[in-house]
Amino acid sequence: MGYLSTNRKKITVRTFLEMKAAGKKIAQLTAYDFTTARLIDEAGIDSILVGDSASNVMAGYADTLPITLDEMIYHARSVVRACRRSLVVCDMPFGTFQASREEGIGNAIRIVKESGVDALKLEGGSEIIDTVRGIIAAGIPVVSHLGLTPQSIHKFGGYGLRASTEDEARKLINDALALDAAGVFAITLEKIPAALAAEVTRKVKAATIGIGAGSETDGQVLVYADALGLTDEFCPKFLRRFADAGRCITQGVQSYIESVKMGDYPNESESY
Ligand code: KIV
């Protein structure tokens, strides 16, 4: 409990870098709506990611590809309204930054202007570095996302471990170094060997945030629905369930149904 922050000061990009320098771990969770984001922010999280995993968690799609720019802006705006302290990062969804640098910069500006998020996350390495540079030049802080990049699922054909060969590991390190030099303030490392994530973490100025990337990254991120037990079908090795919120909701709903059916709810003191 001593690690829980009582400091209500807004977390900024600079705080992330100070935390890395001080060896203080960064805790990030996803959220996509006002009510959940408020609970997570008030619990003391450092950062909330409005991930394009909203496509799975909120809309029930099989992957992250269908979610649109307008839908992400809606989720991001709802989360921003709830957050007092945490740094809010929003994913740029598939198809909004890959076609051209200009389109990427324009869409990045739209997300920030219409939602008020603090930073944007973009999946990809050196292929998108010009776009990343352009977004940073427009004054928008950028988080990169390397390793397992779900927007490229059809290219890789599955959600297995990434960068397990020497060539892929070298490419990932080179991408991380290039993005670091371009000025990203954080790099999400998804589902890569722990030793590789540790090496990247030592080599870059940016804060590394791991998911399935071992314990030596500067921070960790999980999808809140998985971490809090709202889902049970997704169970990769790296996932730990920190609560059983799914069971809690089911029990509450059953208790409500029973009370209504028995005529026990509402009682006199709950009536006008
Ligand atoms: O969309 C998302 O939730 C993410 C995390 C899994 C890192 O990108």
Per-residue model confidence as pLDDT tens digits over 85-123: 999 999 999 999 999 999 999 999 999 999 999 999 999
Residue whose CB lies within 8 A of the most ligand 1 atoms, among 58, 188, 217, for a mutation test: 188
For ligand 1, the distance from its centroid to the CA atom of residue 189, given in whole angstroms, is 10
Q: Evaluate whether the domain defined by 13-241 bears CATH number 3.20.20.60.
A: yes
Buried b or exposed e, range 196-235, using 16+ CB within 10 angstroms = bbbbbbeebebbbbbbbbbeebbbbbbbbbbbbbbbeeee
Query: Which residues' Cβ are closer than 6 Å to ligand 1?
Result: 30, 49, 51-53, 91, 188, 190, 211, 221, 223
pLDDT at 6: 63
Domain ranges of the chain: 13-241, 245-272
Q: pLDDT, tens digit, for every residue of 217-272?
A: 999 999 999 999 999 888 999 999 999 999 999 999 999 999 999 999 999 999 99
Measured between alpha carbons, how far is residue 125 from residues 50, 95, 106, 188 in Å?
20, 16, 20, 11
Q: Which of 190, 199, 216, 268 is catalytic?
A: 190
